[in-house]
């Protein structure tokens, strides 16, 4: 009798405890994963997340093993791709999607995809006003596409699901760079295959320079005090292979790995000069939301959002970035002695190391004025549209619909300014504000955030954005002008959600 009672109590504790944990996991976004909301569990897609379907402590253990106590490697710096056209106002590039292999873990070879190499791709660097032509050759055994994430170009050059590149063929988009200096990126966008292709290594940075930003005296020595950081989480199986067979948890939350890589290296270190160093940070993960900070709690400055420099630097002690978002940061290493190290952490977990050299370099001050961000004028909007993100698992939808290549969901007029109201309905099943945060991405333009639930956006979101994290139960209003014609996508940038159909299509026509 006693035994039965004890067993019953244990069972009740387990059920209640497990249920509470489940709720916390699913509502992770509601409490804390919005910038400026603070508190609560920071991350619907965080470390503890692996625990939902079992293996939580294993995941944490693996993260320690794979990600930080293993062998340290120098941070790979992606090379800048050679411009094949000598004309200073024209730029021509060749990118090849290809298969490769990498030794991420010592003695284990991982099958990968890459552009012009084994993993990730080179940096495409252009300036405002350039006429650009890029030959994208597909040497994979399967179709792919290449989307310029954040770039303002016509639909036919955008590289969405309609711009499929068959094996052995070349796609050659041509466009003019009309937007300001920015840290953008490129990645495949084939229907139902984006998650897998990005996961295997297809991604790279696309940098735009302009005259105004060059005058600013920002740290600009590439790879020295202007350092790209592409952060991705991966799961390597016992043979060192990337696993991309999605379980229920992966379909629901997006694929989360237990190992963080930066520029394709686990546990990397980079030497930094004694001075101000600029980092171009891309969350290139399929789904994970990071909360970045420095291990010693030192504050840093954010100077750029997804689509370019902000009006002024914003001081932060931590930064949340969801999948596909970028931030340009400046960290001041001038007070450190030669050889001192500072770590970059995600929710307190270190994953890379900065080693300060004795060399002093770069500007002494961060400019107080960076770029002009236009005043938001709601009265300019010709139209307001609603986008409601809801559902879970494979049933994720936008406005109750899943992606259909043959259906145009929204029709816009060229050069119109529009307000888009993006709502995350949450899951509903467990009451209000339950569910997970979704990063909403719109193609073909850059947005400014008007408000989040009626409140002005936090200072570090007052700049051009193409990917906007929306918490469960939240409504974010954004404004944009659509100056490029053609067919474009809007979708959740948790790639497993996108691949499940959490995507729609809009046209922009005269």
Q: Footprint of Cu ion on this chain (CB under 5 A)?
A: 438, 492, 494, 497
Task: Kindly tell me the burial class for residue 357, based on how many C-beta atoms sit within 10 Å of its own C-beta (0-12, 13-18, 19 or more).
Answer: middle
Contacts (Cβ under 8 Å, ≥6 apart) of 383: 412, 416, 418, 419
DSSP annotation string for 123-189: BEEEETT-EEEEEEEE-SSS-B--EEET----GGGS--TTS-B-TT-EE--EEE--S-SEEEEEE--
* Nearest CA-CA partner of 309 in 209, 451, 456, 420: 209
**DSSP reduced 3-state for 77:** coil
Nearer to Cu ion, 198 or 207 (CB): 198
H/E stretch holding 232: strand 226-234
What is the nearest approach in angstroms of Cu ion to the Cβ of residue 175?
29
Task: Kindly tell me the burial class for residue 315, based on how many C-beta atoms sit within 10 Å of its own C-beta (0-12, 13-18, 19 or more).
Answer: exposed
What is the nearest approach in angstroms of Cu ion to the Cβ of residue 387?
12
> Between vectors from CA 442 to CA 436 and to CA 446, what angle results, nearest 5°?
120
Nearer to Cu ion, 251 or 479 (CB): 251
What is the nearest approach in angstroms of Cu ion to the Cβ of residue 498?
8
Nearer to Cu ion, 176 or 192 (CB): 192
* Nearest CA-CA partner of 266 in 102, 68, 107: 68
* Residue pointed to by tokens 């290594």: 201
Nearer to Cu ion, 147 or 497 (CB): 497
What is the nearest approach in angstroms of Cu ion to the Cβ of residue 494?
4
Could you tell me if 191 and 251 are in contact, meaning their C-beta atoms sit under 8 angstroms apart?
no
Nearer to Cu ion, 118 or 499 (CB): 499
What is the number of the residue whose Cβ is closest to Cu ion? 492
* Residue pointed to by tokens 């001038």: 334
Nearer to Cu ion, 136 or 403 (CB): 403
Nearer to Cu ion, 200 or 497 (CB): 497
> Between vectors from CA 293 to CA 292 and to CA 297, what angle results, nearest 5°?
170
H/E stretch holding 22: helix 2-26
What is the nearest approach in angstroms of Cu ion to the Cβ of residue 491?
8
What is the nearest approach in angstroms of Cu ion to the Cβ of residue 389?
7
Nearer to Cu ion, 310 or 398 (CB): 398
Nearer to Cu ion, 353 or 497 (CB): 497
What is the nearest approach in angstroms of Cu ion to the Cβ of residue 188?
18
What is the nearest approach in angstroms of Cu ion to the Cβ of residue 470?
9
Nearer to Cu ion, 197 or 438 (CB): 438
H/E stretch holding 25: helix 2-26
What is the nearest approach in angstroms of Cu ion to the Cβ of residue 254?
7
What is the nearest approach in angstroms of Cu ion to the Cβ of residue 492?
3
* Nearest CA-CA partner of 303 in 293, 314, 292, 294: 314
Q: Residue 507: beta bridge partners?
A: 411, 487
């Amino acid at each position: 009798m006693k035994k039965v009672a004890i067993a019953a109590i244990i069972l009740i504790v387990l059920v209640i405890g497990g249920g509470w944990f489940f709720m916390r996991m699913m509502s992770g976004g509601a409490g804390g994963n919005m910038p400026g909301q603070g508190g609560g569990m920071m991350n619907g897609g965080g470390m503890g997340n692996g625990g939902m379907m079992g293996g939580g402590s294993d995941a944490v253990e693996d993260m320690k093993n794979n990600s930080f106590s293993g062998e340290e490697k120098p941070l790979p710096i992606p090379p800048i791709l050679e411009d094949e056209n000598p004309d200073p106002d024209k730029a021509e590039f060749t990118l090849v999607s290809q298969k490769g292999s990498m030794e991420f873990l010592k003695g284990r070879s991982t099958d990968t995809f890459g552009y012009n190499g084994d993993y990730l791709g080179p940096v495409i660097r252009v300036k405002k006003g350039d006429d650009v032509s890029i030959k994208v050759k597909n040497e994979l055994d399967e179709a792919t596409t290449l989307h310029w994430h954040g770039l303002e170009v016509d639909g036919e050059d955008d590289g969405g699901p309609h711009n499929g590149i068959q094996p052995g063929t070349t796609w050659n988009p041509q466009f003019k760079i009309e937007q300001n200096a920015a840290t953008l990126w490129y990645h495949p966008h084939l229907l139902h295959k984006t998650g897998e292709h990005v996961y295997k290594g297809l991604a790279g940075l696309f940098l735009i320079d302009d005259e105004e930003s060059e005058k600013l005296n920002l740290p600009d020595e590439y790879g020295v005090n202007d350092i790209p950081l592409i952060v991705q989480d991966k799961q390597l199986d016992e043979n060192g292979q990337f696993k991309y067979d999605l379980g229920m948890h992966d379909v629901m939350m997006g694929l989360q790995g237990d190992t963080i890589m930066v520029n394709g290296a686990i546990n990397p270190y980079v030497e930094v000069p004694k001075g101000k160093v600029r980092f171009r940070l891309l969350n290139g993960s399929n789904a994970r939301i990071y909360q970045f900070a420095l291990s010693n709690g030192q504050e840093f400055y954010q100077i750029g959002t997804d689509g370019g420099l902000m009006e002024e630097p914003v001081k932060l002690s931590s930064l949340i970035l969801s999948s596909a978002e970028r931030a340009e940061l400046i960290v001041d290493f001038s007070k450190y002695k030669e050889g001192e190290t500072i770590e970059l952490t995600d929710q307190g977990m270190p994953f890379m190391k900065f080693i300060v050299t004795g060399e002093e370099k770069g500007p002494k001050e961060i400019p107080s004025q960076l770029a002009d961000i236009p005043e938001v004028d709601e009265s300019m909007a010709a139209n307001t549209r609603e986008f409601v993100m809801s559902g879970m698992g494979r049933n994720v939808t936008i406005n109750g619909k899943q992606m259909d290549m043959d259906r145009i969901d929204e029709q816009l007029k060229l050069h119109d300014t529009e307000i888009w109201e993006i709502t995350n309905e949450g899951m509903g099943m467990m009451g209000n504000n339950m569910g997970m945060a979704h990063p909403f991405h719109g193609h073909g333009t850059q947005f400014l955030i008007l408000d989040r639930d009626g409140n002005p956006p936090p200072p570090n979101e007052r700049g051009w954005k193409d990917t906007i994290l929306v918490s469960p139960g939240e409504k974010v209003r954004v404004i944009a002008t659509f100056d490029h014609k053609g067919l474009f996508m809007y979708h959740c940038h948790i790639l497993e959600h996108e691949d499940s159909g959490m995507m729609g299509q809009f046209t922009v026509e005269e």
